[in-house]
Amino acid sequence: MDLLRFITCGSVDDGKSTLIGRLLHDSAQLMEDQLAALESDSKRVGTQGQAIDFALLVDGLAAEREQGITIDVAYRFFSSATRRYIVADCPGHEQYTRNMATGASTADAAVLLVDARKGVLTQTRRHAAICKLMGVRHLLLAVNKMDLIGFDEGRFLEIAAEAEGLGIEQALPVSGLTGANVFEASADLAWFEGPTLMAALDALAPADVEDGGPLRLPVQWVNRPNQDFRGFSGQVAAGEVMRGQDVRVLPSGRTSRVARVLVGEREVERAEPGTSVTVTLTDEVECGRGSVIVGAAHPPEVADQFEASLVWLAEEELLPGRGYWLQLASQSVTATVQPPKYELGIDSGEHLAAKTLGLNAIGVVEFATDRPLVFEPYAASRTLGGFILIDKLTNATVACGMIHFALRRASNIHWQAIEVSREAHARQKGQKPCVVWLTGLSGAGKSTIANLVEKKLHALGRHSFLLDGDNVRHGLSRDLGFTEADRIENIRRVGEVARLMADAGLIVITAFISPFRAERAMVRRMLPPGEFLEVFVDAPLAEAEARDVKGLYAKARAGELKNFTGIDSPYEAPESPDLRIDTTTMSAEDAAEAIVALLLRRE
């Protein structure tokens, strides 16, 4: 018997849980003790009087019963006469759209429910859009609660027409409560000539497997029990892997040949797509977790810029410019995004202008990664085309993405070959370039210390330049405000300028609050190892506020200044700075001495 995975989705209160309860019940999958528990639960907490409340079969969490909604996906198993099913009952509540996306990502089909009294709602459209994005191949529309509208054919046709354009394969009238047209045709729906819901599901083409095509084997883990065995373990995403086959290892691009294929401890000639295998190669090529072993003749894309659809799943909105972990197959890289190209209007289907994406928004975004990524368009491969984004500080999964294509500029804009290298620049100035990055609260004393440092370096004959927060705001970053997103962009720009100056052989001193760890780490990554020194100018908030040199804290406290670091915007102190200046015990003069000493030690 084959297996079909489907989800039920749609708006809250459209009767999904009841319908699944009905499917489980009518397919005779329920055991006597489960039925007894259901009957007793129904009397106690059910919503159907003394009758059985089928929703209680799936809404198992206490909070769900309290609130009468589905919070998380429930996976249930049942069989028809011809096939096994795993059904994921997905929440309709907008707040839990992320859980619906979770269910949709592994589904072959979706049953989109609509309450016959309410018709197609925004959330119905959102779920249809997510199904389409996720590549769910079959979308059935179940117009539920037909019993509440007297099984009216006209209303059913009206809703089917409303749903036009959502990509529906078939519309079916049902009642989860009475069971009409779920497993059995019903006299109440005599006018309906189509199949029952169960018959429609049974008739869907079987689960899709990424068969055929060239080999795609993402390497999960290197198996190295002894000196004589070096195996690469992973699940074959597409194509077959065969002994003697010519392969290419990406992103390094080295070619080799498959020596052995193991499934468990058993050696085989070939392994089908979907199999978890361990292979050995004939050559000692560079290959590890994150590498992808592919058919030599048909490699996928390797690029560091691409466009993708994104479903934003977190309460905190997308921050363009910030680095997120991007996880695709077994690869994990740092990715930054530009402001979205557009956000998808759920009701209108229009492309809306957007600066960011909030909870549940769907948009199209361009990505840049810090290392080349091996991928395929999502339409060709769920495994190599689907990715998640992870917030680097909270570790939360904040988005899922589906890749469209590589951006050609990644391969077409080459670095201008520069005749005078950065080493030559540095040699001419007789110094080691460096970026000294002062971070700390407003009023901590960064600018004062930075100025002293530069004076001392100048006196020592060093070539330096000071980038100051306020000065940059007058020119380079004149167009930016003080929202989180704008602060990140400001730091990115300053980082790029500092890097160019370091390329020119200079010692760059910067004085920026730079409140977020992630952005300071981003600048560190822009520079060669050892050329970024993070200096934490540490002053307690109370102390900085007491000084209030520019009168800004007073304004912020009065509510006249929004997004002020330390007051209504966070400051993330460095965890391990290269130098920490305690301004309560050290004078600005001594602080500058300490920084210069640190610089001189590196020479």
Partner 1 sequence: MSRHQARPMALTHLDRLEAESIHILREVVATCRRPVFLYSIGKDSSVMLHLALKAFAPAPPPFPFLHIASGWDFQAMLAHRDAMASRYGLDLKVWHNAAAGLSPFDTPTPTYTRVMLTEALREALKAGGYDAAFGGGRRDEEKARAKERIFSFRGQGGGWDPKLQRPELWNNYNARVHAGESIRVFPLSNWTERDIWDYIAREAVPIVPLYLAAERPTVMRDGTLLMVDDPARFPGIEREEVVTRRVRFRTMGCWPLTGAMESEADSLDKVLAEMAALRTSERQGRVIDRDESASMEVKKREGYF
Q: What is the DSSP letter of 81?
A: S
Alpha carbon distance 507, 436 (integer Å): 8
Task: Output 124 or 331, the one with its CB closest to partner 1.
Answer: 331
Q: Does the footprint of partner 1 cover residue 299 (CB under 8 A)?
A: no
164 contact partners, CB below 8 Å, separation of at least 6? none
* 469 three-class SS: helix
CB of 466 to partner 1, least distance (A): 37
Per CB under 8 A, contacts with partner 1 among 395-424 are 395-397, 400
Least Å distance, CB 341 to partner 1, is: 22
* Token reading at 11: 């708006």
3-state secondary structure 238-250: ECCEECCCEEEEE
Q: Does 48 bind partner 1 (CB under 8 A)?
A: no
Rounded Cα distance, 450 and 122, in Å: 54
- Asked whether the beta carbons of 400 and 388 are under 8 A apart, the reply is yes
The size of the interface with partner 1 (CB under 8 A), counted in residues, is: 77
Closest CB to partner 1 among residues 191, 221: 221
CB 506 within 8 A of CB 465: yes
Please identify, using beta-carbon distances, which residue of 68 and 165 lies nearer to partner 1: 68
* Percent of the chain that is helix, strand, coil (3-state, to 5): 30, 30, 40
297 binds partner 1 (CB under 8 A): no
Interface of this chain with partner 1, residues 304 to 323, rule: CB under 8 A: 313
Residue with smaller CB distance to partner 1, 86 or 541: 86
β-bridge mates for residue 336, sequence order: 368
Q: In the window 105-144, what residues touch partner 1 (CB under 8 A)?
A: 105-106
Q: Under the criterion CB under 8 A, does residue 84 sit at the interface with partner 1? A: yes
Stretch of 156-164, 229-237, 344-352, 577-585 lying at the interface with partner 1 (CB under 8 A): 229-237
Footprint on residues 557-596 left by partner 1 (CB under 8 A): none
263 binds partner 1 (CB under 8 A): yes
Q: Which amino acid is at 497?
A: V
By CB under 8 A, the residues from 86 to 105 that bind partner 1 are 86, 98-99, 101-102, 105
359 binds partner 1 (CB under 8 A): no
- Give the x/- contact pattern for partner 1 in 16-35, rule: CB under 8 A: ---------------xxxx-
- From the centroid of its chain, how far is CA 206? 29
Nearer to partner 1, 270 or 557 (CB): 270
Q: Which stretch binds partner 1 (CB under 8 A): 185-193, 259-267, 516-524, 528-536?
A: 259-267
- When asked if residue 67 is in the footprint of partner 1 (CB under 8 A), the reply is no
Report the alpha-carbon distance of residue 79 to residue 24 in Å, rounded: 9
**Among residues 112, 328, 467, 485, the one that binds partner 1 under rule CB under 8 A:** 328
183/378 with CB nearer partner 1: 378
Residues annotated catalytic, as ranges = 514
Q: Shortest CA distance to 15 belongs to which of 108, 110, 146, 134?
A: 146
Q: With CB under 8 A as the contact rule, which of the stretches 222-230, 366-374, 500-508, 512-520 interacts with partner 1?
A: 222-230
Residue 235 is a binding residue for partner 1 (CB under 8 A): yes
Considering only 81, 227, 265, 414, the residue that binds partner 1 (CB under 8 A) is: 265
One residue of 13, 26, 39, 72 binding partner 1 per CB under 8 A: 72
What is the SS3 assignment for 281-342? ECCCCCCCCCCEEEECCCCCEEEEEEEEEEEECCCCCCCCCCCEEEEECCEEEEEEECCCCE
Residue 62 near partner 1 by CB under 8 A: yes
> For residue 602, what is the DSSP state?
T
**Run of H or E residues at 535:** strand 532-538
Residue 356 token pair: 């960011």
State the minimum distance, in angstroms, from the CB of residue 73 to partner 1.
7
